[in-house]
Amino acid sequence: MISDLLFKRIEINKRAAERNAVVDGNRSFTYGKLCKLIDSFGSVIRQQGIQKGETVAIYLPNSVEFIISFFALSRLGVISLPLNVTNRETELEYYLSTTGSRYVITEGEYLSEIEGLKSSCDLKLILVKGESNCWSVEKMDEISTSGTAIDEDDKVLYLFSTGSTGKPKCISRTHANLRALAENHTSTAGWNEDDGILMAVPMSHTYGFGNFVSAIQAGATIYTIADFNRKEVTDILSSGRITTFPAVPFMLDMLSRSRNLSGKDFSSLKLVFSAGAPLATRIFQDFKKNYGIYPRQLYGSSETGVISINMSRDIEKKNRSVGRPVKNVEVKIVDNDGKELTFGEEGEIIVKSPSMTSCYENSDQESEKSFRNGFYYTGDTGFIDDKGYIFITGRKKLFINISGYKLDPVELEQLLLENKNIREVAVKGELNASGQEIIKAFIVPEKTMKYSEIVDFCRSRISEYKIPRIVEFRESLPKSPTGKILKAKL
Amino acid sequence: MSEEIKHRIIKVLSNQLNEKTESFSLSDNEPLFEYGLGVDSVSTLEMIVALENEFNIDIDESDINADVLYSISTLEDYIKNHL
């Protein structure tokens, strides 16, 4: 099972128990201590009467509590549903009801976001921080719980994937999937127990989650950051302890354009990953100029986990590539008929991986479209060069990419139409001055509306990154003879 | 000096919204929020970095709250104190 990455490690190698596993602000936890905390929290979960095969949501930021929660649940055969702390009521309700989650692990700071759902979703909360009488890492009981019998094919994780269907699609991963992901990622990246991984990207998403599990596989030290803050990130990056920094292009751009970097030493950095959105050459060059290291693109998806990492020795020339497939992962390019294409020919990228799911949990129709003959059809288009490097050139799936976060425009359109003052709406992506994709909504109101009314309506219901940055109020929207809104004409 | 600072703030803000500076009309005390500026952490950080580079100042994003971002006037006050 996935927790063997921790427990077997310290069983086989006693010295490993003394090494730092997690540094969360000014709190440090060795691998030995982390295992004790996981067992202690596991007993709390068990006392709640939560059974093997149930789903429990983790609504926590990057933190040692997130890591403890995931592994404690996994040892009891319980499926984790990590939720981003930016998620709001409408999203939370959907994720919790789709997976049948009755329990949420959270902390005092996020209570107000979730308390409103307690009665409508019949939820029970398990607090791990911020309340005087809750279990916490500072006052845990030293209880050793024996693990539940786990099959490697048991589900251990639910994630959601965005694109084309209006509603996010639920994906499960098994213990075997996650073990394969960690093994493939770690051996391709060459991590070991001397590495320090800075987790600033959310561990509740596939990219952050994959890096966190792989860091544990390597026996490395994870440094967690709850919110992206340039000063905090540059202070840790220059502490001499960080060797790998998984990021998204937006973070790299903001860090590159920051001014007060003089006197800081980033020479401990060996790898900087960029994923979630294409890495512009400008950001690639600027980051190197300021931090002395080129970022490398990593490609993955919620459905598959990590697909490829660009570990090229000639990164200056290959910077636009997302690299070659990681260990044990097969990638092909196919045409519209599913026929495999050769080097340099452009088509859809399809992936076969031991870390991938085989279907969507809540949609047979979408599963049939996306999972065929053992391959996942990513919806991304691209080509592979004669050295095996993958280049992404476009996407077939419909979504807007906001600094690595994906939004299906239909999801926002459906939400906005729930506002009785909105008659028609169309949402599309637009590039801003720094080349980042932003959300623009075209709205036909029933009566005069202000932009702030749209923001207020969205803010309590969806993550802030999904709020349209620009709203254009119109008297009508262009339509086809059949009444379909013609977004291309907007 | 003050008019120059204001003009440079408007230049930064209009860029954020893909608007031409000349056609971007916004009075000093109008809430920037109404224009989609600072509605989320991504747009707030972009604006902070753009202001830093325009005025050659360092801004700690943890110092920036809704009061500072409220209008051109409040931004101007903040920038004057950091020049």
Other beta carbons within 10 Å of A385: 13
Judge whether residue B1 has pLDDT over 60. Answer: no
- Largest pairwise CA distance in chain A: 72
Question: A79, exposed or middle or buried, with CB in 10 Å at 0-12, 13-18, 19+?
Answer: buried
Which residues partner with A272 through β-bridges? A245
Indicate which of A469, A471, A472, A473 best probes the interface with B, i.e. most B CBs within 10 Å of its own CB: A469
Domain ranges of chain B: 2-82
- For B31-42, the pLDDT digits (tens) are 888 777 777 888
**How would you classify the pairing of strands A271-274 and A305-309?**
unpaired
CB contact under 8 A, B43 and A469: yes
d(CA A348, CA A346): 7
Which residues partner with A360 through β-bridges? A171
Return the structure tokens found at A332: 């092909």
Task: Tell me which chain A residues have a C-beta less than 8 angstroms from the C-beta of B20.
Answer: none
DSSP collapsed to 3 states, chain B: CHHHHHHHHHHHHHHHCCCCHHHCCCCCCCCHHHHCCCCCHHHHHHHHHHHHHHHCCCCCHHHCCCCCCCCHHHHHHHHHHHC
Indicate which of A259, A428, A439, A454 best probes the interface with B, i.e. most B CBs within 10 Å of its own CB: A259
What local confidence, expressed as pLDDT, does residue A120 receive? 75
Task: Tell me which chain A residues have a C-beta less than 8 angstroms from the C-beta of B58.
Answer: 259-260
Residue in chain A closest to B57 (alpha carbons) equals: A259
CB contact under 8 A, A470 and B40: no
What local confidence, expressed as pLDDT, does residue B33 receive? 80
In angstroms, what CA-CA distances link A52 with A41, A88, A263, A358?
16, 28, 52, 22
Range of weakest confidence among A208-222, A235-249, B50-64: B50-64
Residue whose pair of structure tokens reads 């202001």 in the numeric block: B51
Indicate which of A227, A428, A438, A465 best probes the interface with B, i.e. most B CBs within 10 Å of its own CB: A438
Closest CA to A405 of A205, A224, A171, A164: A205
Contact indicator for B43, A469 with CB cutoff of 8 Å: yes
* Superfamily of chain region B2-82: ACP-like (1.10.1200.10)
Most confident of A213-222, A396-405, B3-12, B16-25: A213-222
Tell me the domains of chain A and their CATH numbers.
Answer: 2-382 (3.40.50.12780), 408-489 (3.30.300.30)
d(CA B22, CA B34): 19
ipTM given for this complex: 0.86
Judge whether residue A353 has pLDDT over 80. Answer: yes
φ, ψ (nearest 5 deg) of residue A66: -60, -45
Nearest CA-CA distance, residue A208 and chain B, Å: 18
- pLDDT bin (cut points 50, 70, 90) of residue A147 is low
**Average pLDDT in the A24-31 region?**
96
DSSP state string for A446-468: SS---HHHHHHHHHTTS-GGGS-
d(CA A90, CA A111): 16
What local confidence, expressed as pLDDT, does residue A9 receive? 86
Task: Tell me which chain B residues have a C-beta less than 8 angstroms from the C-beta of A464.
Answer: 39-41
- pLDDT bin (cut points 50, 70, 90) of residue A145 is low
Which residues partner with A303 through β-bridges? none
Contact indicator for A203, A62 with CB cutoff of 8 Å: yes
Range of weakest confidence among A131-145, A263-277, A289-303, A412-426: A131-145
- For A291-331, the pLDDT digits (tens) are 999 999 999 999 999 999 999 999 999 999 999 999 999 99
Contact indicator for A330, A352 with CB cutoff of 8 Å: yes
In angstroms, what CA-CA distances link B8 with B21, B50, B51, B79?
9, 11, 9, 11
What local confidence, expressed as pLDDT, does residue A350 receive? 97
d(CA A251, CA A11): 38
CB contact under 8 A, A464 and B40: yes
**Average pLDDT in the A67-72 region?**
97
The CA-based angle A69-A154-A213, given to 5 degrees, is 45
Contact indicator for A208, A182 with CB cutoff of 8 Å: no
CB contact under 8 A, A464 and B16: no
More confident residue, A164 or A167: A167
Task: Tell me which chain A residues have a C-beta less than 8 angstroms from the C-beta of B51.
Answer: none
What local confidence, expressed as pLDDT, does residue B21 receive? 64
- pLDDT bin (cut points 50, 70, 90) of residue A146 is low
Nearest CA-CA distance, residue A205 and chain B, Å: 17
Q: Which residues of B touch A (CB under 8 A)?
A: 15-18, 31, 33-36, 39-43, 45-46, 49, 52-53, 56, 58, 60-62
**Average pLDDT in the A392-411 region?**
86
Percent of chain A with pLDDT over 70: 98
- pLDDT bin (cut points 50, 70, 90) of residue B23 is low
Mean pLDDT of chain A, nearest integer: 92
In angstroms, what CA-CA distances link A329 with A183, A300, A303, A325, A352?
11, 11, 13, 6, 6
**Average pLDDT in the A154-168 region?**
85
CB contact under 8 A, B36 and A450: no
CB contact under 8 A, B56 and A254: no
Task: Tell me which chain A residues have a C-beta less than 8 angstroms from the C-beta of B39.
Answer: 455, 464, 467, 469
Return the structure tokens found at A228: 């992206």
Instruction: Name the residue facing B33 among A403, A452, A464 (closest C-beta).
Output: A452
The helix (H) or strand (E) run that includes residue A475 is none
Contact indicator for A200, A245 with CB cutoff of 8 Å: yes
- For A189-210, the pLDDT digits (tens) are 999 999 999 999 999 999 999 9
Instruction: Name the residue facing A451 among B15, B35, B46 (closest C-beta).
Output: B35
CB contact under 8 A, A231 and B60: yes
Nearest CA-CA distance, residue B53 and chain A, Å: 8
